A = this chain, B = another copy of it.
């Protein structure tokens, strides 16, 4: 689409009535879309990073009903340029520092295209053996890069599977654990509902909200979810003794602890729970131990960060999101389990219309039984492509570059007396704030929230916040694929300028 007239947002009726899947039309229009997307990346720094539209903006721009007759691709692309792009928050912008990154890449996009183009639905092996087998192989590859213990690989009872998100990874882990503990307890003659009412889950108050949501979905009593405090004294890592005490208290109270979720790289501050110590305790009590490394898992392909996973050998399940920081377009959450039978027992259903010889003979893996939905995309293509087209060395260099950039930002902030760092930078997230002025009654809450909103409203960069030990904390997560040192330098200038402007206003 070189020459898509960005100035002209008028639509002309150009409906041609595409055939469903005509090869020539497919080829021609898909080439146009490639150029449209390439141009988007070329221009991405010219857009405000956080969308500046107001709620309800799009309803005013689009018709109330679908067209009766076909429209043309020109019309649609004009609408994308004029009406959709202004409503985007640009996650791939080099100036996007919010939440955690959600990487796009050339290789990831190629994998996404191929997956969408082949459009096979590999819920059972037979429905595209390559979709299942490549996933098994590529999860082994990634597991080896992470130096996961052999038990997580496909050679034994374990193996990896791609879930949509880390939320689904923790949910299926809880469901497998719950089913297993229930079966074990029923053998001891306990009644089902009395067991269910006592099932207890442990995590820290720094864990992702998806743990709580998974408990809700799985029917764990909210009163039996222990959200244990982790504070600045341990850099927001969960202290083993707090876990240990909670366990002992619960057991004494007649509850049945069955699941621990620890985090390597928490969302608020990338804290790393001491998984070796926590895992050791969890095993003493017979809990299922899940390690969520959604964000930081990617860094652990570098030897110098791998020690954060020490203790993962005690885990029953481990997950990381290749779609965050490992150049794999959304979605691609990798989950490894040591005993896949426990997943399958909890999640399999049988239906005559799904039966087939390969499955009946138990010669194959059917990933439908490792996940919530039935259908599934051929997502391993993306992961395979990023591993091959960047190579392990290229991916490590990519991670290290972001960490260098984040270190640089941390140095800039430390060198400025008006600001302070609020949690140690372990990976590529920097937590900081504008120090409260003397007499500030809310400990810098409002001034930092205002600074954040002013910067984000300017469209120059987009970043988000958290609260650490009651303190409003600004977060700069370096990790977008196009971010270079110069972008962070610029971001820091923008933040300082807005801070100065706000201070002057008071």
Contact of A67 among B26, B388, B465 (CB under 8 A): B388
Contacts of A327 in B (CB 8 A): 20
Indicate with 1 or 0, residue by residue over A82-109, a CB within 8 angstroms of chain B CB atoms: 0111111111100000110011111101
Residues A70 and B113 in contact in the complex (CB < 8 Å), given A91-B120, A385-B76: no
Question: Closest Cβ of chain B: how far from A101's Cβ, in Å?
Answer: 10
Q: A27-B34, A84-B130, A388-B66 are in contact. Are A208 and B104 (CB under 8 A)?
A: no
Known A-B contacts A38-B30, A389-B71; the reply to A353 vs B267 at CB < 8 A is: yes
Check if A51 sits within 8 Å of B357, measured CB to CB: no
Number of interface residues of A (CB under 8 A): 158
What distance in Å separates the Cβ of A104 from its nearest Cβ neighbour in chain B? 4
C-alpha gap A218/B350 in the complex (Å)? 18
Q: Tell me whether A392 and B67 are in contact in the complex, defined as CB-CB below 8 angstroms, given that A18-B106, A110-B33 are known contacts.
A: yes
A193–B193 Cα gap in the complex (Å)? 7
Q: How far is the CA of A379 from the CA of B482 in the complex (A)?
A: 24
Bound Cα distance from A91 to B347, whole angstroms: 25
Name the residue on B nearest A119 (C-beta). B104
Residue contact A22 to B106, C-beta cutoff 8 Å: yes
Question: Quick one: which of B59, B102, B175 contacts A133, CB cutoff 8 A?
Answer: B59
Q: Is the interface of A mostly helix, strand, loop or mixed?
A: helix
- Residue of B58, B86, B196, B464 near A219 (CB, 8 A) is B196
In contact, A351 and B30 (Cβ under 8 angstroms) = no
Number of identical protomers: 2
CB distance from A372 to the nearest CB of B (A): 6
Shortest Cβ distance from residue A109 to the other chain B in the assembled complex, whole angstroms: 6
Verify if A420 is at the interface (C-beta below 8 Å from B).
Answer: no
Report yes or no: A21 in contact with B217, Cβ–Cβ below 8 A: no
- Shortest A328–chain B CB gap in Å is 10
- Whether a CB of chain B sits under 8 angstroms from the CB of A341 is no
Q: Looking at A134, A327, A453, which has the most chain B CB atoms within 10 Å of its CB?
A: A134
Cβ A106 vs Cβ B165 within 8 A: no
Q: Which residue of B lies closest to A116 (CB)?
A: B112
Output the nearest chain B residue to A38 by Cβ-Cβ distance: B27
Bound Cα distance from A408 to B157, whole angstroms: 49
A102 close to B119 (CB less than 8 A): yes
Residues of B within 8 A of A430 (CB): none
Shortest C-beta distance, A81 to chain B (Å), equals 11
A52 CB, nearest partner CB in chain B, Å: 9
Return the 8 tightest CB-CB contacts between A and B, nearest first: A219-B219, A87-B130, A37-B117, A112-B116, A58-B133, A104-B119, A27-B38, A165-B373
Chain A to chain B contacts (Cβ below 8 Å), 30 pairs: A18-B107, A20-B105, A20-B106, A27-B35, A31-B34, A33-B114, A50-B126, A55-B129, A56-B133, A58-B134, A62-B134, A66-B138, A66-B144, A66-B387, A66-B388, A84-B130, A85-B130, A86-B130, A88-B129, A92-B118, A92-B119, A99-B127, A109-B117, A116-B329, A193-B193, A210-B374, A213-B347, A331-B373, A352-B465, A357-B453
